[in-house]
Each structure stands twice: as C-alpha cells, then as structure tokens.
Amino acid sequence: MSTAAAGERRPVLASLDEALAVVQDGATIGIGGAVTAGHPMALVRALARRGVRDLTVVAPVGGIEVDLLIAAGCVKTVVGAYVGMEVVAAVGPVFRRAAQSGAVEVVELDEAHALLGLRAAAQELPFLPWRGGVGTSFSQLNPTLVEFDDPVRGEPLLAIPAIELDVALIHAETADRFGNAQWAGTGNMDMQLGAAAKHVVLQVDRVVSNTEIRRFPERTFFWRETAVVHAPFGTHPYSSGSMTADEQHLRDFAAAARAGDEAVADYMNRHVLDVEDDVAYLEEIGIRRISSLLV
C-alpha cells in the first residue's frame, strides 16, 4: 500500500508565479511590512504583473506596495491605517489620487484596529473590543467599526470586526523548505496577517536548512498553508534586516507619481510590468545600488 510508505515531509518551495496562483480576482489579501520596512515587494510586483483585479488590500501601515497595485489596476479597496513614504511622501501619491477621485474605496483603521481585526479573524471571533477610536470620526468614516456599551462595565467601546484574509503576502529573512519562517527584526504585523489568512505566501531572502532553523526555535513562526518563495533582496526598494530602504528610488517614484499618469506608467513598465521576473528587476536596479544599501 502506498500509504504504508511513511511519507517524506512535504516541501513547500514554489516559484513566484506558482505561489501567487492562490490569489484570485476579488480576493482579500494582506500585505506585510510597515512604513518603509519589510514589505514583500517581489510578491507585489509579480502580482501586479499577473494583472489580478478587484483586490481588497489590507495594508496595516502601507507604502509603495499599495501604490504599485493601484497603478497596475488591481485594487478595489484599501484597508489600513496609513499609506505613504514617510519623509518622501506623507501620503502615497498614487493612493492619494485614487482615494480623492473615488477610484479606490478606503476602509479607515487605526494601527491597533488592524491588529485587533486580524486577531479576531485568527481567533475565529466576529470582533474584538478596543477603546482607541471611541469619540473620534472613525465610525463615521468606516461604518464597520461599531460603538457599543460593554456588557461588563458599561463603558463605551468600539467593536473591531474580524479581518479575514484569503491570502497573506509576507517577507521574512529566512525559512526552511517546510515553511518555518524567521525574522531578523520584529516582523511588524506579519505573524498576525499570516494567522488571519487561509494561505500564506512567504518570500524570503534566504532558504536555509531545517537544522539552521532549529538553532533559534524561539524565532520560528509557521502557518497551516504556506508557500515559500526564494526572493533575495526582494524587499527593494524597502528595507530588510540586512538592507536599508532605497531613498533615491522612492524619491524617483514619488516624483513620477506627482508628475502624473504617464510618468507612473513609465515607472510601472520599466520596473514592474515589462520585467520578466524579480531577478530582471534587480538587474535593472543594479548591483552597485543594491550593495550600497547593505548594512
């Protein structure tokens, strides 16, 4: 009997395109990282190239990844507390235009609401209570946030509805081929995004042995359904544990986005759409630039 052949452990390594096949039109996807750190840009670029449509993008503290997906026409709704590039652009320029024109719907959250909503999904709860946001305009801007009197002490609280994700796109420094992931830093909200998702697509700078993972088991996170994609320097233009963000590249993108649709289209063609894969993207960026970012 074939079942008697006690199985080999199943590896979950995949190519960018194989791993992203789980993302369907209309899906709700979470994207990890925060501000200028740890966004899974190789996955985002590949998704933009594939041209999926009508995504709901949950980006707790988002950046250029949201701008790129909007510019590629993939996004219907953005859910999160921020989309921007900090000192480079207080508000993501493509996102700002799309939000102002109504081209994308924005579901406003506080950063803590994003965490609570993901936790509620992970805990199979309809909502979790939170105090921050009571008495503000949050429930007016985002009617899914409901003020209620708590049944224990009668205090006014906000119900943060569960944020259930079809797919979480996450970057980690390392993983083994079985989907055990480890970060160099805090991992931002990546663990919670993974726990709220049916599928996790993980891009890593290095695929390491299970023996290597076992040296630091306290750092390991894993989820039920995970695909691991090897994408060295795949957070560019954002930082990883070993690379700073590429300020010049972000400034160039912001300038293009401010110049208008044509300049954005040029950027998208050069860096995202007319690019065969993420290695070709990195070739275009150049080893001189990449090496200047390493810490």
Q: Please provide residue 262's backbone torsions phi and psi, each rounded to the nearest 5 degrees.
A: -65, -45
Q: Which of residues 191-250 bind another protein (CB under 8 A)?
A: 191-192, 239-245, 247
- Rounded to the nearest whole angstrom, what is the least distance from the CB of residue 156 to another protein in the complex? 5
Q: Give which of 47, 43, 7 is closest to 25, Cα–Cα.
A: 47
Distance CA 139, CA 242 (A): 40
Q: Which of 13, 81, 207, 290 binds another protein (CB under 8 A)?
A: 81
Nearest residue (CB) to another protein, 19 versus 93: 93
Q: Which of 188, 226, 229, 278 binds another protein (CB under 8 A)?
A: 188
Answer yes or no whether residue 141 interacts with another protein by CB under 8 A. yes
Q: Does the N-terminal peptide bond of residue 237 adopt cis geometry, omega within 30 degrees of 0? A: yes
* Binding footprint of another protein, residue count (CB under 8 A): 59
Question: Cα dihedral angle (44, 40, 181, 163), rounded to 10 degrees?
Answer: -70
Q: Which of residues 105-124 bind another protein (CB under 8 A)?
A: 108-113, 115-116
Answer yes or no whether residue 84 interacts with another protein by CB under 8 A. yes
Answer yes or no whether residue 138 interacts with another protein by CB under 8 A. yes
DSSP state for residue 178 in the 8-state scheme:
T
Binding residues (CB under 8 A) for another protein: these are 34-38, 60-61, 80-84, 86-87, 90-91, 96, 99-102, 108-113, 115-116, 130-138, 140-141, 155-156, 184-189, 191-192, 239-245, 247, 295
